[in-house]
Amino acid sequence: MTRRSTVSALFSALLAVAVCACGSGGGSSTKAAALGAKQDSKPTTGGTIEYGHYQEPPCLVTTWVQTGYLTRQYLEQLITVDEKGEFLPWLAESWDISDDKQTYTFHLKPNVKFTNGEPFNSEAVKVNFDNWFSTDPTRRNGYVAFHVEDHIDKIETPDDLTVVFKLKHPHHPFLSALSQYAFGFLAPSVVKAGPEEWCVRPVGTGPFIVEKWNRGTNVVLKRNPNYNSAPGDVENKGPAYVDGINWKFLKDNTARWGSLKSGQSDVIYDIPGVNWAEANERYEVLRHITGGRPSQLALATDHAPFDDVKVRKAFQYASDRRKAVETVFQGAVPYNGNGALSASSPEHLKDLEDYYKYDPAKANQLLDEAGWTEKDADGIRSKNGKKLTVRIVYGAGSIISSDGSEFLQIVQDQAKQVGFDVQLKPITTADFFAGKGRQPGEFEIQPGYWVARSAEIFQVVWKPDAKADDGTVLPNANNTSRLQTDQVGIWQLVRQADQEYDDAKRTALYEQVQRKLVEEQAVTVGAYPLTVSLALSERITGIKLNASIGEPIFNDAYFVKGK
C-alpha cells in the first residue's frame, strides 16, 4: 500500500462512518404513543426542565426578540393576548377605555410582589415607563418608545392599584402593543440601579427567578414559590409545577439537536431545517409564525433604479420566491409572499401572497417599458450607459441567517436571468448595527423583519422621515424602502386606521394599506416570516408558545409520570 492510498482509505473510512451515523430509527408510532401518554397524564410537580436555546443575549433585559423569549420567564406585563386576538388580564386585573378613547385606566392585581419583596403597584409601572422613555440610551427601551411614545401624553397614578394613560389621540393598537414582550416590569430598585444590575440580576414578578447566569453556558431559573400573578392564557394560576428551568445556550445545530436526541435536553428551540422532518416524526413540535413585518426585501425608492415603480414590479416578478423558500427551509419555515404583513397577523391579506407570481416574461416586458433595453454579453441590462445594478445589503448572521443567505442567492441568480446585476453585500453584525451600508443611498435592497403582533407595525416601519427644528432630515431607519408614505396617501391611511375603533372599518383600512404597499407601490418583496419552533421529548408536556411573539410559556409545563 502506498502512502497516498493509505490516506485515501482512511479518509473514506471516516466518511463512511460519518454517513452511516446520519441514519436513524424511530417512527410515528412511538410519537403517537408518547402523545397519548401525555394527554392522559395529570400534572406532577418537581423536576428541572433542560431547555436548549440558541442565541445568548448580551444582557438579560434587552428589547431584542431573542431576549424576549427569556424575559418572559421572569418579567410580566400588564396584559397578554390569545390566538383569537382577545386581550387577557395579567398584572392588570381589568381595564376601561374612556368614550373618547384617550384615557386607558388599568386596575392592577392586588398583593403582587416582585421576587425581592418590593410591592408591584402603580408607582412601579410609572418608574418602568419613565425608564423606557429615558434620554439615556443605555436605559431607553427603543421598542417601547417606537410603539407608544408618540401617543402617550402622560401617565397618572391616582392610587396604588390604578394606572391611567392619557393619550394625545385615540390609538387602537395601544393594547396590542402593551401585550408584547418588551413591556415587562422590573422591580423599581433594580430600575434605579441601572443596566449594571438588570443585565445580570433582573428582578420581576414572573413564575421564575434568575438564580445565576453562567455566560456562554446557561441561565439557571428557579421557581418563584410565591407566584400569584398568572396571565389569562395559562391554566395553572399558582406557582409553576416544575422546580426550575436550565436555560442552556446550545449554539451549534448538531449539538442542540443531539442534546434532545440523547436525552440531555427535554426541549429544544429552533429545530434545524435538516432535522425538521425527523422532528415531526418523533417529537411533539410547537411552531409559531411571528407577526408584524415578515422577512422581506425593501426596495429603496429614493434613487435609481427602484425610483421607477416598473423596475420594482419587474424585480418582484423576476424570481420564484415561493420555491426558493421551500427549497431552503424544507418546510420548517413557510413562504410569506405578502411583504407588507406576516401571515399570522390578523389583518394579513391572503390574496397578496401570490400577487407577484414568478413571471420572467412580465419582468422582461416591464424592464423594456422602463427603458432598460440595452443588454451586454452577460445579459445584464443598462439604460443610457448605466448598468442595472442593485446591491442587497444585509446583516449576515444577525438579521439574515445562513438559510436566509441561501434564499438571497437564489433570488440573485433568478433576477440575473431577466437582466438585473444583483450584488450581495453581507455586513457583519457589529458593522450593521453601527450603521454601515444602511444609510440612504448605500443600498438598493435591504432585507429585514420587525416583530409585532399585528398591523400596528405599520406606524413603526412606514413612518415618514422627521425634520429637526433646524430643517435637517432625520431618516426613519426602520423605513428601509425610503418611501415617504405621506406623499402617496399611505401614511394618512395608517393614521386613520390606528385611530379607528370599529373593527371592520379598521381592518378595511389596514387592508388598503397593504394593497397600496404591494400592488400599487411594489416596495416590499415578500419572503418568509420569523418562525419559532420547539421540539419536546416524550417526558415533558404543557409547554405553549405565546400568541403574540411566540415566547415559550412554562407555567403549565410538567413531567409526564413514568417517563
Partner 1 sequence: MAATVLKRLAGAVLVLWATATFTFVVQLFMPGDRATMIINTQAGNLQNPSPEEIATLNERYGFDDSYLTQYLHYLGDLARGDLGVSYNQHQPVTEIIAAQIGPTIVLTVSALILAWVISLIITVLATGRDNVWSRAATGFQIVTAALPPYWIGTILLVLLAVQTGIFPVEGDTSVIGLILPALTLAIPLSGFLGQVTQDEFERVLEQPFVTSSRTRGMGDLGVRLRHVLRHAVLPAVTLSGWALGALFSGAVLIEAVFSRPGIGGILVQATSGRDIPLVTGVMLASAVMYIVANLLVDVAYRYVDPRLRTA
Site for partner 1 in 210-239 (CB under 8 A): 214-217
**What angle is formed at CA 206 by the lines to CA 205 and CA 212, rounded to 5 degrees?**
100
Which cell numbers hold the place of 314? 419587474
Minimum Å distance from CB 36 to partner 1?
A: 26
Dist. CA 387–CA 367, nearest whole Å: 13
Of 167 and 396, nearer to partner 1 (C-beta) is 396
Of 51 and 315, nearer to partner 1 (C-beta) is 51
Q: What are the angstrom distances between the C-alpha of 518 and each of 152, 316, 369, 514, 526?
A: 31, 10, 20, 6, 9
Of 160 and 431, nearer to partner 1 (C-beta) is 431
Render the burial of 228-253: b for 16+ CB within 10 Å, e for the rest: ebbbebbebeebbbbebbbbbbbeeb
Of 199 and 380, nearer to partner 1 (C-beta) is 199
330 lies in the site for partner 1, by CB under 8 A: no
Of 15 and 33, nearer to partner 1 (C-beta) is 15
DSSP, collapsed to helix, strand or coil, labels residue 129 as helix
66 lies in the site for partner 1, by CB under 8 A: yes
Q: Looking at the chain, how many residues does it have?
A: 563
Q: Which 14-53 residues touch partner 1, going by CB under 8 A?
A: 14, 17-18, 21-22
DSSP, collapsed to helix, strand or coil, labels residue 289 as strand
Minimum Å distance from CB 49 to partner 1?
A: 15
Minimum Å distance from CB 444 to partner 1?
A: 17
DSSP state of 520: I
User: Considering only residues 82, 226, 475, 496, which one is a binding residue for partner 1 as defined by CB under 8 A?
Assistant: 475
Of 117 and 194, nearer to partner 1 (C-beta) is 194
Of 94 and 428, nearer to partner 1 (C-beta) is 428
Closest CA to 292 of 518, 470, 119, 460: 460
Minimum Å distance from CB 477 to partner 1?
A: 4
Q: Which secondary-structure segment (H or E) carries 459?
A: helix 458-461
Check: CB of residue 126 under 8 Å from CB of residue 136.
no
Dist. CA 336–CA 357, nearest whole Å: 12
User: Considering only residues 477, 492, 501, 502, which one is a binding residue for partner 1 as defined by CB under 8 A?
Assistant: 477
The phi, psi pair for 53, rounded to 5°, reads: -100, -175
User: Considering only residues 141, 290, 459, 555, which one is a binding residue for partner 1 as defined by CB under 8 A?
Assistant: 141
Q: Which 246-305 residues touch partner 1, going by CB under 8 A?
A: 248-252, 254-255, 257-259, 261-265
Minimum Å distance from CB 72 to partner 1?
A: 15
Minimum Å distance from CB 255 to partner 1?
A: 5
Which cell numbers hold the place of 471? 430643517
Instruction: Please work out the total of residues on this chain that contact partner 1, with binding judged by CB under 8 A.
Output: 73
The phi, psi pair for 169, rounded to 5°, reads: -160, 160
Minimum Å distance from CB 248 to partner 1?
A: 7
Minimum Å distance from CB 11 to partner 1?
A: 6
- The torsion defined by the Cα of 50, 271, 401 and 60, in degrees rounded to 10, comes to -20
Report the 10 Å Cβ neighbour count for 323: 13
DSSP state of 486: G
Helices (H), 158-306: 174-178, 188-193, 195-198, 253-261, 276-282
Beta strands in 242-397 (DSSP E): 244-249, 267-269, 284-289, 292-299, 374-375, 381-383, 386-387, 389-395
Of 93 and 431, nearer to partner 1 (C-beta) is 431
Which one of the spans 6-14, 355-363, 492-500, 552-560 is the region binding partner 1 (CB under 8 A)? 6-14
Binding mask 181-210 for partner 1 (x = CB under 8 A): -------------xxx--xx----------
501 lies in the site for partner 1, by CB under 8 A: no
Dist. CA 31–CA 387, nearest whole Å: 56
Minimum Å distance from CB 438 to partner 1?
A: 7
User: Considering only residues 34, 38, 62, 324, which one is a binding residue for partner 1 as defined by CB under 8 A?
Assistant: 62
150 lies in the site for partner 1, by CB under 8 A: no
Of 141 and 531, nearer to partner 1 (C-beta) is 141
Of 213 and 356, nearer to partner 1 (C-beta) is 213
Q: Which 395-454 residues touch partner 1, going by CB under 8 A?
A: 397-398, 428-436, 438, 448, 450
Report the 10 Å Cβ neighbour count for 70: 28
Minimum Å distance from CB 367 to partner 1?
A: 31
Q: Which 375-394 residues touch partner 1, going by CB under 8 A?
A: none
**What angle is formed at CA 179 by the lines to CA 527 and CA 47, rounded to 5 degrees?**
95
The residue type found at 104 is Y
User: Considering only residues 113, 140, 310, 516, which one is a binding residue for partner 1 as defined by CB under 8 A?
Assistant: 140
Of 136 and 378, nearer to partner 1 (C-beta) is 136
